[in-house]
A and B are shown apart, each in its own frame.
Chain A
Amino acid sequence: MRSSRVARTGQYLALVAYLVFLAFPFLWLVSTAFKPARELGSLHPTWIPRDPTLANFRQAFDEQPLLQAALNSLVAAVGAAVVAVLIATPMAYVMARHRTKLSRMATGWVVVSQAFPFVLVIIPLFLVLKNLRLIDSVPGLVMVYVVWALPFALWMLVGYVRAVPAELEEAAAVDGAGRLRTLVSVTAPLLAPGIVATALFAFVTAWNEFFFALVLLKTPEKQTLPVVLTHFIGAEGVADLGPLAAAAFLATLPSLVVFAVIQRRITGGMLAGAVKN
């Protein structure tokens, strides 16, 4: 009894240590975003701003085209998510229901694509998109993001299709429903939550993506949020801390919200995978 109480105390101490480690950088970001310049310049920074202000946010919007950047990010992320899910769902269905050579090759590609160093892909893509005059354009970036989102979209969707019992489809077929009819009225509704989760996941990854956007977008008005954020850090690495924190904080909010919504589903998918293994 006694030793278990000691163990419990140790567990709580460890948990609190983890909580501090996970939380403190983010709290510091938020705190910095709301600090007036005077407090930022002080040699003894405080955790909680004494005179919280929104001035940093205003200054951030004045210094960089944040609104335009957010719009570009939104277009790129929504475009990537919608297109990726539209083309991945049918393929995932085939991969889940039919064990053919192609579905095994696709599975292999999903694994291998995780290991690409992106330099090896971006240089040829840069040349190809340049020839197609799609460099420095958000649609060109969407094309890249779609392919980049496909591996995990396929992976997630194959799992969701497997979770729909094939017997249901067979029963519908026995009842005289055609192939298409079965897909639309039996499979699709059961698959819908999985499709939405996959799309949201694709949205977050595209919203957060930096490397491709950095290489492919040159004009400031076309750049996405992560690229524009780096402009706040000057060439010498000197940054205006307040506006930098404010802009970074804003850029995080959409993915945080979306991720909070889908996190359970992702965890659930992992669990299902683990159980099957």
Chain B
Amino acid sequence: MTLATAKPKRPRPAKRSGPADGRDRRLIDHGAWFLVLPALIPILVLSVGPLLYGIALAFTDAQSGRTEPTRWIGTLNFQDLLHDTLFWESFRIGLLWAVGVTVPQFLLALGLALLLNQPLRLRWLARALAIVPWAMPEVVVGIMWRLVYNPDAGILNETVRDLGLGDGRDWLSGLATALPAVILVGVWAGMPQTTVALLAGLQNTPRELHEAAAMDGAGAWRRFRTVTWPAIRPVALAISALNLIWNFNSFALVYVLTNGGPGGRTRLPMLFAYEEAFRYGQFGYAAAMGCVMVAVISTVLALVLVGRLRRGEGA
């Protein structure tokens, strides 16, 4: 639902030589306006505009289908939000989910990327298979895993029974198992993309460095730490930050898998805000939730950028 299929964003190289250097002060190069406007106008009208409008709505009592005019109510929505224990519970679940998906996803993807960087026989098959989770609509991913988790006809319980581990259970409805079950799906769905990003970083590692380190008698772990990791760290950092944000904002997967249940155990902030806005019609209140989410995400972004700066990489 988010741009889960987009490439990782990386900062531009600081310097670029080109015919236009030194024209920095101008907003845009001479007659190029007509090239830019067709994209710029929709961006302003349908993206930047609504975003600002959304922030403004957070300070109003806007509701759907109400006849009285909408009023400014200052920070009342935010004050209410502060005391909304259900929202903070969903916020906590959102953070748990985002970290719970991003960390294992990164470790698994790193492992797979390292494997795929080796001359192994089944590499092509892994690459081909990796397309499946990446290209699948999130709704289908959710449906597919519901079939896997199905208590009677699902393959997971059948495997559990075959292994003699008991009768299996209804994974998505169990209070204790729902969130881990949903997290596993999140890991599966996002792994290929992370793998490809890391693989791109790995293939950028100079081979000679590896060989030199091996000649000096460095073991596998030491080579990884001193040669491989420094080379892929920028990519790893960028993709992890994006994954954290995308996961925190995710909606479709969990909507299809559990719709927030059981008892709100998997109710991510986006699900909560969606219900508040489009089931109960509380537009202003839901917008305030969106604002809080933006604030948290900006903090994550800022921390990552500060981390980069401190390492002297520039941002």
Q: Write the residues of chain A forming the contact surface with B, with a CB cutoff of 8 angstroms.
A: 7, 11-12, 14-16, 18-19, 21-26, 28-29, 32, 40-45, 47, 86-88, 90-91, 93-94, 97-102, 107, 109-111, 113-125, 127-128, 143-144, 146-148, 150-152, 154-156, 166, 170, 201, 204-205, 207-211, 214-215, 225-226, 229-230, 232-233, 237, 239, 241, 244-245, 248, 251-252, 255-256, 258-260, 263, 266-267, 269-271, 273-277
CB of A169, distance to nearest CB on chain B (Å): 9
**Chain A: interface secondary structure?**
helix
Q: List 23 A-B contacts (CB under 8 A).
A: A11-B115, A19-B126, A28-B155, A43-B152, A94-B28, A99-B18, A99-B24, A114-B3, A121-B51, A123-B54, A128-B53, A146-B46, A147-B47, A152-B3, A154-B39, A204-B5, A210-B138, A226-B139, A233-B256, A245-B144, A259-B135, A266-B196, A273-B7
- Structural contact, A258 and B135, CB atoms closer than 8 A: yes
Q: Let me know if B23 is at the binding interface, CB within 8 A.
A: yes
Q: Write the residues of chain B forming the contact surface with A, with a CB cutoff of 8 angstroms.
A: 1-3, 5-10, 12-13, 16, 18-21, 23-29, 32, 34-36, 38-40, 42-43, 46-51, 53-55, 57, 108, 111-112, 115, 118, 120-123, 125-126, 128-140, 143-148, 150, 152-155, 158, 161, 188, 191-192, 196-197, 199-201, 203-204, 220, 234-235, 242, 245-246, 248-249, 251-252, 255-256, 259, 269-270, 273-274, 277-278, 283, 286-287, 289-291, 293-294, 297-298, 301
CB of A259, distance to nearest CB on chain B (Å): 3
Kindly identify which residue among A98, A155, A267 contacts B9, using a CB–CB cutoff of 8 Å. Answer: A155
User: How many angstroms from the CA of A29 to the CA of B291 in the assembled complex?
Assistant: 38
User: How many angstroms from the CA of A41 to the CA of B25 in the assembled complex?
Assistant: 70
| Closest chain B residue to A33, Cβ basis | B147
CB of A209, distance to nearest CB on chain B (Å): 7
* Residues in B whose Cβ lies below 8 Å from that of A100: 20, 23-24, 26-29
- Structural contact, A117 and B269, CB atoms closer than 8 A: yes
Ordered nearest first, which 9 A-B pairs have the shortest CB separation? A120-B290, A259-B135, A90-B35, A208-B137, A124-B53, A124-B50, A91-B39, A87-B38, A152-B6
Interface centre among B1, B138, B147, B192 (most CB of A within 10 A): B147
* Residues in A whose Cβ lies below 8 Å from that of B161: 44
Kindly identify which residue among B118, B129, B270 contacts A119, using a CB–CB cutoff of 8 Å. Answer: B270
Interface centre among A122, A150, A155, A260 (most CB of B within 10 A): A122
User: How many angstroms from the CA of A101 to the CA of B143 in the assembled complex?
Assistant: 45
- Structural contact, A150 and B242, CB atoms closer than 8 A: no
Kindly identify which residue among A124, A259, A270 contacts B57, using a CB–CB cutoff of 8 Å. Answer: A124
Given A21-B188, A118-B1: 16 more A-B contacts, CB < 8 Å: A18-B115, A45-B153, A45-B158, A91-B38, A124-B50, A124-B54, A125-B50, A152-B6, A205-B5, A208-B138, A210-B139, A226-B138, A230-B139, A255-B135, A267-B199, A277-B10
